[in-house]
């Protein structure tokens, strides 16, 4: 099973930018989907962005559309570029992998992903 390691989190002011990275210990083409998720204190984990590895198509939650960009920069490295950050973006961000095809409606559903990284904290101050 692949291991995922996130990095790049930090503290920024509203309107700032951060780029998160996720390095997989093996080729990501072994997986159907890769995703970024986040969890704020006291809230459920939610999907932020997903990528169909076969097609490279990306999908975003409405709350981040137009501000976040999900890229696969190498065969085992993924990045999440985050711009125009808001205080409500504050959360622990996780990279995850799904080793089976996903229904369209479940591309951003955390329970559909079976491999997770340890997370990286993003804090946006007002």
22-59 per-position pLDDT tens digit: 999 998 888 999 999 999 999 999 999 999 999 999 99
pLDDT at residue number 14? 98
pLDDT at residue number 44? 98
Average pLDDT over residues 53-76: 93
CA torsion sign for 11, 9, 33, 41 is: negative
What band does 2 get if pLDDT is binned at 50, 70 and 90? confident
CB-CB contact of 71 with 81 (8 Å) = yes
- What's the Cα-to-Cα distance from 55 to each of 24, 79, 111, 114, 117, rounded to whole Å? 19, 17, 22, 20, 23
Residue owning tokens 């198509």: 57
For 99-122, b/e burial (b = at least 16 CB within 10 A) is eeebeeebbbbbebbebbbebbeb
């Amino acid at each position: 099973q692949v291991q995922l390691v996130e990095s790049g989190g930090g503290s920024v002011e509203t309107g700032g930018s951060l780029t998160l990275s996720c390095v997989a210990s093996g080729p990501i083409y072994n997986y159907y989907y890769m995703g970024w998720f986040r969890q704020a204190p006291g809230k459920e984990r939610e999907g932020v962005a997903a990528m169909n590895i076969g097609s490279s198509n990306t999908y975003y939650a409405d709350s981040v559309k137009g501000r976040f960009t999900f890229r696969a920069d190498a065969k085992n490295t993924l990045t999440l570029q985050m711009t125009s950050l808001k205080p409500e973006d504050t959360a622990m961000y996780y990279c995850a992998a799904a080793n089976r095809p996903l229904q369209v409606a479940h591309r951003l559903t955390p329970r559909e992903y079976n491999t997770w990284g340890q997370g990286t904290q993003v804090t946006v101050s007002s």
